[in-house]
Amino acid sequence: MKNIFVFLVLPVAIIVLAYLFIRGIGEPVRFEQDKKFRQERVAERLKDIRDVQVAYKSQYGKFAESFDSLITFYNHGKLKIVKQIGSMDDSVAVAQKLVKREIIEVPVRENIKLRTVTGSADSLRFVPVVGGEFEMEAMIKRVSGVDVPLFEARVSYDRLLAGLNRQLVVNINAEVEEINKTLTTGKRYSGVKVGSVEQPNNNAGNWE
């Protein structure tokens, strides 16, 4: 019986323990790789949302409150652009008033090229890799006595990292919570987002 244990059971046990040990070391590495991949895909999508939102604001003076409005604007809206005929560096042309500027309208979809493979605005609302929709808000907020249009699009780590090691996701959320306990303003978001409905931030992403 002792010989069976030594020659059969013990080697198998050692192999299993070695496998679990290696897996335990490699899990955080794989987690970080998957997290980085997903965050990069999400950041690209959020940049597209920001580009279209900024164009929307240039036309309407506010940001779109829904993805339906944003997508419709991209697919069917137009942008007013100032086109210059001639060069201001040409003094003769300027003197003869041959340099002119006129406002023209161009389709939004021709002026903004999305980063998605298909180039379709229909994908703007969806979180890459994991699916589901981004959360998005838009509002007019009084800041220092001035009405300021603000928007924010976001996805939490719970959603973004779904299917990965749950304990490592919990650890990330806990780290953000601990940091926020030390902050009185500018609380960190436990996830990836662009823009802010709390205060103007030049529509920056929290990964930038």
**SS3 annotation, 66-122:** CHHHHHHHHHHCEEEEEEEECCCCCHHHHHCCCCEEEEEEEEHHHHCCCCCCCCCHH
What is d(CA 138, CA 152) in angstroms, rounded to the nearest whole number? 6
Q: How far apart are CA 208 and CA 204, in angstroms?
A: 7
Instruction: Give the pLDDT confidence score for residue 5 in this predicted structure.
Output: 47
Instruction: Summarize pLDDT for 136-145 with one digit per residue, the tens.
Output: 999 999 999 9
- C-alpha closest to that of 99 among 109, 111, 89, 110: 89
pLDDT of residue 119 exceeding 90, the answer is: no
Residue 152 confidence (pLDDT) above 70? yes
Choice among 20-29, 135-144, 155-164, 185-194 with the minimum mean pLDDT: 20-29
Residue 16: what pLDDT?
Answer: 55
Tokens of 142: 């009084």
Residues 15-62 pLDDT 10s: 555 555 555 566 888 999 999 999 999 999 999 999 999 999 999 999
The CA-CA-CA angle for residues 36, 38, 44, to 5°, reads 100
pTM for the complete prediction? 0.81
pLDDT at 82: 75
Interatomic CA distance for residues 58 and 200, integer angstroms: 16
Residue 161 has a pLDDT of 97
Phi-psi region of 83 (alpha: psi -120 to 50; beta: other; left: phi over 0): beta
Strand order in the sheet with 135-143: 135-143, 146-156, 191-195
Q: What is the pLDDT of residues 3-15, one digit of tens each?
A: 554 555 556 556 5
DSSP code, position 143? E
